[in-house]
Amino acid sequence: MTKLKTSLIWLAALSLIIQVAHAALPSNWFSNNGEMPTLAPMIDQSKPAVVNIATQSHIRIQDNPLMNDPFFRRFFNIPQQPRHRTRQSLGSGVIFDAKKGLVLTNSHVIQRADEITVSLTDGRSFQAELVGSDPATDVALIKIPAESLTALPLADSDKLRVGDFVVAIGNPFGLGQTVTSGIVSALGRSGLGIEGYENFIQTDASINPGNSGGALLNLRGELVGINTAIFSPGQRAGAGNIGIGFAIPSNMVKQISDQLIEYGEVKRAYLGVQMQDINDELASAFNIPPGQGAVITSIQKDSAADKAGLEIGDVIVTVDGQKLSNADSLRNTVGLLMVGQTIKMDILRNGKQKTVKATVKEVQKQAQQGPIHPKLAGASFGNIEPGSRYYGKINGVAIYDVKRNSPAWNAGLRTNDIITSVNKVRVNSLDDFKSHVQTTGTLLFNLTRNRQAMFLILR
């Protein structure tokens, strides 16, 4: 074969590849003259729907008794210390409903914020009010009094495939609106310990601090996810992107936002079981293949599972036809169901397959609303709920809610804190907690907040 023939074959092949690529890509990939592939038209259309969010929180500083002593301060020439400090943070958001001014973001972006400022690409800024927040999935919804907004259309995230091109838009490091691109690296990521319910899209589109709450788009400019977290070696504070970022799928965001709009919170469904992963030893003991489903270790009386006839030792294999790989996948599946929904489960019992149906109930909060202690006024306490990321992992008492500027708020307590000990005595339940705070003196709490343990003194 001559060199000329070889060159002609290569040119023909290259021309065919270009034609196939042109047909496969969306029309807005190419500029008007067709010479240069670009995402600019899609980006220009989508950018007005992504906003910057700035928050301010006023945090009470724990008092040192010596600092309150005028003689001590005068003797050592120490000025009066401030009792509060202001904390500021930055994040991103996505306009969800243009007519109503609804903006999606992450729960951790606006958590404990006293002021929320939303800045649009056209230069306008608005003070936002909180519609509702769900820390278990890290989704929050805020509202701004603005007109002439642009909202992003929602995509069906269940149709995403590994390898699909995606674009991230957000406010990294407070630089202002920034666009990065990549692909979907993996789907259904869970068990990371980032949130209570996890079903993340993993992407290599650069996501950095400040991108939280921003948009993950497909090439049609549709919202496929809300950027929420990054993975960095050692999880160092302030560490940047290394190509592993996570986003909450748009279908999950839609489920949560619908409930936040209707109730201001998520009414979480509950099956009433505790589960354990199937390892090789358990698989051998139950005579089932390894890595299949999860085994029931306990059942709450009068729960949906109890009424459905489930038993300890049953292995749940599928829910509504979806295979379960571990205990977390069952918890995620049930926790995102609507209260009152009936599900069909395939189980293995004594080596035999069986199908059962269960109608999931709402988690019933048994909160202590009354004043347990004068310093705790304004807060409601209860046992750790099944929907909490800490359920079955630590013992303690959960703080369901704290009213702003109440004694409990000013003491430093916050919603979703888990109190594990009082005055160095461990607490395992709400009754334990109530019995140990019946004192007029100082209270020393050991608590867990955002997976970090800390001490808090209430004087």
Residues acting as catalytic residues:
108, 138, 212
Q: Give CA–CA dist 403/112, Å, rounded.
A: 11
Chain position carrying tokens 């690409």: 121
Q: Which residues pair with 89 in a beta bridge?
A: 55
Mapped onto helix, strand or coil, the DSSP state of residue 211 is coil
What backbone torsions phi and psi does residue 370 show, to the nearest 5 degrees?
-70, 170
CA dihedral (143, 104, 191, 197) in degrees, to 10, reads: 50
Beta strand extents in 121-161 (DSSP E only): 125-127, 129-134, 139-143
CB 104 within 8 A of CB 86: no
Beta strand extents in 45-112 (DSSP E only): 50-60, 84-97, 102-105
Q: Which residues pair with 425 in a beta bridge?
A: 422
Region of 148 please: left (phi>0), alpha (psi -120 to 50) or beta: left
Q: Give CA–CA dist 246/116, Å, rounded.
A: 24
Distance in angstroms between the alpha carbons of the first and the last residue of the chain: 91
* Parallel, antiparallel or unpaired: strands 50-60 and 115-119: antiparallel
Mapped onto helix, strand or coil, the DSSP state of residue 318 is strand
Q: Which residues pair with 186 in a beta bridge?
A: 202
Chain position carrying tokens 């979703």: 416
* Parallel, antiparallel or unpaired: strands 315-319 and 342-349: antiparallel
Which tokens sit at 45? 């259309």
